[in-house]
Structure 1
Amino acid sequence: MKKSLAFVVIAALMTCVGCKKSSKIPDVAQVDATIDIQVLSQNLTHPWEITWGEDNMIWMTERGGKVSRVNPTTGVVTSIITIADVKAIGEGGLLGMALHPSFAANPHVFVVYNYDKAGVYMEKVVKYTFAGGTLSSPTIILDNIPAANIHNGSRLLISSDLKLFITTGDAANPQSAQNVASVSGKILRINLDGSIPSDNPIQGNPVWSLGHRNPQGLVFANDKLYSSEHGPEKDDEVNIILKNRNFGWPSVNGLCDETAEQSFCNTNNVAQPLSRWTPTIAVAGMDFYNHNAIPQWKNSLIMATLKDASLYQLKLNATGDKIDDSKKLISGAYGRLRDVCISPDGKVYVATSNGSNDKIVVLMKK
């Protein structure tokens, strides 16, 4: 692994934006850039998605059903809508969100959430139109995704060629991840109107890759699609997602390094992870940093973790197919961390997931 020539302990200000005094310094985090960490917004409840909007606002979902916009300068949270049929059970509720890449011309907001469908807990992807400060004209893009109180996946991402990628967990049914007739335990790819692209691996099928347990991070960079995925008691993963590839679950955890796994890997062309963590750290949302504001972080995945309560910098090699180095940028100070988004000016925003007085914190060059 490459090592930085200099390490600077963060002088991190855990404060409200505009406040003058620091109340706590995050423990043990060491990075090769001197940054400030400030609390932008607080008194949130289980934020799940934060994403930067073309309107220069942070768009946010909270698991109970609320969609809001957050002013990245003042931290003021403005509610847009509370979706009435969201049903939050355990880890379920209102989860992922993606904005149309040409939002000014196409003000469409895609969300994925769990709901009660005739007494069965299910999940659906819905497209809304943003107008007059609210979301209207809901259109179901994909329905009948199995849901549970655990393992719902639910990160959304729209590619530059206007395809919607959707992560789904196994919804507490591990064997479904290997069944191409099921949308559980997959990464799906559909058109923005819900139709199936003609170049998907299986005609008329939304499945892009299979064998996933609970993927909760998804980002495009270096012409590659990266995903973070929860393992069981071992082998959390970061993967490069490849078309029509099998990622092994439930027969394989992490690398194909156990005797019982190797036969399945050979037979099913299993893709192995870029990195894995044992014991698990509960990897969650991530984004890609490639900004000059903090040059030491360029070409890095920035990843939030829940159980480990840390924010990781995963430095990629020049071709983006290997993680050269890993550092903790935050460790322990804010509790569980759910998602990350990066602004055009190189600030890193992180949402916590503690269920009580959750926050958005911002990391910036000091």
Structure 2
Amino acid sequence: MKNSLTLLTSLLSLFLLLSSNRKPDTPTATAADSLQVRVVKTGLTMPWEILWGPDNMIWMTEKAGKVSRLNPKTGEQTTVFQVPDVKEGNYGGLLGMVLHPQFAQQPYVFLVYNYDAAGKFKEKVVRYDYRNGTLTNPKTLINNITGNEDHNGSRLLITPDLKLLITTGDGARQNVAQQLDSLNGKVLRLNLDGSLPTDNPFPNSPVWSLGHRNIQGLVLVGDKLYGSEHGPNTDDEVNLITKGGNYGWPNVAGYCDDNQKGETAFCQTHTIIEPLRSWTPTIGLCSLDYYNKSQLPRWRNSLIATSLKASRLLQLKLDPTGRKVVGVNEFLTNQYGRLRDLCIAPDGTVYVATNNFGDDKIIAITAAK
């Protein structure tokens, strides 16, 4: 009895010691947050986009130009296409991809990638037909977007009214993000044939919103469009993107709170929209998706984001209106390195692509059993 009491006392002391050393700002996972991680595929080379296809396969781009389909159960990878004119750079190459929402009837695949135009780094969006297991009949929807070794964007998204949204980086030319005659530092909006919608906010322009530095995440939740954006040395952002909205870059980074740099005055004269959430120092905020599945119930009504620089997965809990981030939790910190993109299967499994410049992986995240 005495030995048992001594053991119990020791365990209690150890628990109190560990509790007292826990940093109060460190998110703490509960039993309901416990995750089970399975490696689906290894040996990949810089995957950039993963999305859940209507064939229950993961469709994937790799930066050097490969489009493939990945069996999420076996990890078997099947090459669909190699983009012939892709120009790969440090952070350029084959980037975003989206499939037509009525893929069975209209098997279109949309790709955005960098290419060489007389020695200049450019970017374009091309629509392909998916026939007999490969991509054919390329149709360029928009091109001549200034590219760079960095700051190229670019995510693609098709809205329920069948409009194509395209995020572009500033191409390392900061001032163009505020210029309506430039396609850089914007969210662009096109019809699916490349023509201009008549209800865009600026006449005869594909620009939907402006003042962006480098959006690499885009998700539509109901009627709300969210984007995740790389900041400079400060202020990675999650924004609620609205028609004709101006998000401030390069005159404003993050919130309108730096009087010495003139942010407050610029915000007042240009009606700048502040982010829902900002991170300083930056964490390399990348892709963005929305989780509302029952498998991980504490993640419901949350934005899920990947981080490159900080090597973690983030859960951003939204309030009922979707206009506020009311809590942030972090997972997989430093376990799999840089995390580039994610997609969510119908059963609630979250798939994540790493970006470690060699032997990259696709991992599957489920609730621990």
TM-score scaled by length of structure 1: 0.91
User: Does the aligned pair in 1 maintain the 2:142–2:194 contact within 8 Å?
Assistant: yes
Partner of 1:211: 211
**Cα displacement (A) at 1:222:** 3.6
Cα distance in 2 for residues equivalent to 1:105 and 1:344 = 21
Partner of 1:134: 134
C-alpha RMSD of matched pairs (Å): 1.2
Partner of 1:244: 244
Change in 2 beyond 3 A, CA 1:34/1:184:
same
Match of 1:143, as an amino acid?
Answer: N
Partner of 2:313: 311
Partner of 1:18: none
Report Cα offsets for 1:120-156 as digits up to 9, x if no partner.
1100000001111101111001111100001001100
Partner of 1:330: 332
Task: Provide the secondary structure at the position in 1 that maps to 2:332.
Answer: strand
**Cα displacement (A) at 1:34:** 2.1
**Cα displacement (A) at 1:250:** 0.3
User: Does the aligned pair in 2 maintain the 1:216–1:285 contact within 8 Å?
Assistant: yes
Partner of 2:233: 233
Partner of 1:155: 155
- The aligned runs of 1:99-118 (5 Å cut-off) are 99-118=99-118
**Cα displacement (A) at 1:29:** 7.1
**Aligned residues, how many?**
340
Match of 1:246, as an amino acid?
Answer: N
Match of 1:232, as an amino acid?
Answer: P
**Cα displacement (A) at 1:191:** 0.5
In structure 1, runs of 5+ residues without a counterpart are: 1-26
Match of 1:101, as an amino acid?
Answer: P
User: Does the aligned pair in 1 maintain the 2:215–2:230 contact within 8 Å?
Assistant: yes
Cα distance in 2 for residues equivalent to 1:205 and 1:176 = 15
Task: Provide the secondary structure at the position in 1 that maps to 2:286.
Answer: strand
- The aligned runs of 1:188-207 (5 Å cut-off) are 188-207=188-207
Report Cα offsets for 1:317-351 as digits up to 9, x if no partner.
11110011110121111100000100011000000
**Cα displacement (A) at 1:30:** 2.9
Partner of 2:29: 30
Match of 2:304, as an amino acid?
Answer: I
Cα distance in 2 for residues equivalent to 1:72 and 1:331 = 23
**Cα displacement (A) at 1:47:** 0.3
**Cα displacement (A) at 1:356:** 0.7
Cα distance in 2 for residues equivalent to 1:333 and 1:365 = 17
User: Does the aligned pair in 2 maintain the 1:222–1:319 contact within 8 Å?
Assistant: no
- The aligned runs of 1:54-73 (5 Å cut-off) are 54-73=54-73
**Cα displacement (A) at 1:295:** 1.1
Match of 2:212, as an amino acid?
Answer: H
1:365 aligns with 2:367: yes
User: Does the aligned pair in 1 maintain the 2:27–2:329 contact within 8 Å?
Assistant: no
User: Does the aligned pair in 2 maintain the 1:222–1:320 contact within 8 Å?
Assistant: no
Report Cα offsets for 1:22-56 as digits up to 9, x if no partner.
xxxxx987354222011111100000000111111
Cα distance in 2 for residues equivalent to 1:48 and 1:206 = 24
Task: Provide the secondary structure at the position in 1 that maps to 2:330.
Answer: strand
Change in 2 beyond 3 A, CA 1:87/1:29:
farther
In structure 2, runs of 5+ residues without a counterpart are: 1-25
Match of 2:278, as an amino acid?
Answer: R
**Cα displacement (A) at 1:75:** 1.1
Cα distance in 2 for residues equivalent to 1:127 and 1:324 = 38
Match of 2:287, as an amino acid?
Answer: G
Cα distance in 1 for residues equivalent to 2:320 and 2:127 = 36
Cα distance in 2 for residues equivalent to 1:281 and 1:295 = 26
Cα distance in 1 for residues equivalent to 2:334 and 2:27 = 9
Cα distance in 2 for residues equivalent to 1:310 and 1:301 = 14
**Cα displacement (A) at 1:73:** 1.0
Cα distance in 1 for residues equivalent to 2:194 and 2:27 = 46
Partner of 2:341: 339
Cα distance in 2 for residues equivalent to 1:326 and 1:333 = 19
Partner of 1:145: 145
- The aligned runs of 1:165-204 (5 Å cut-off) are 165-204=165-204
Partner of 1:299: 301
Q: Which has the larger radius of gyration?
A: 2
**Cα displacement (A) at 1:223:** 1.8
Report Cα offsets for 1:132-188 as digits up to 9, x if no partner.
110111100111110000100110000111110000000010000000000000001
Cα distance in 2 for residues equivalent to 1:28 and 1:213 = 29
User: Does the aligned pair in 2 maintain the 1:87–1:116 contact within 8 Å?
Assistant: yes
Partner of 2:3: none
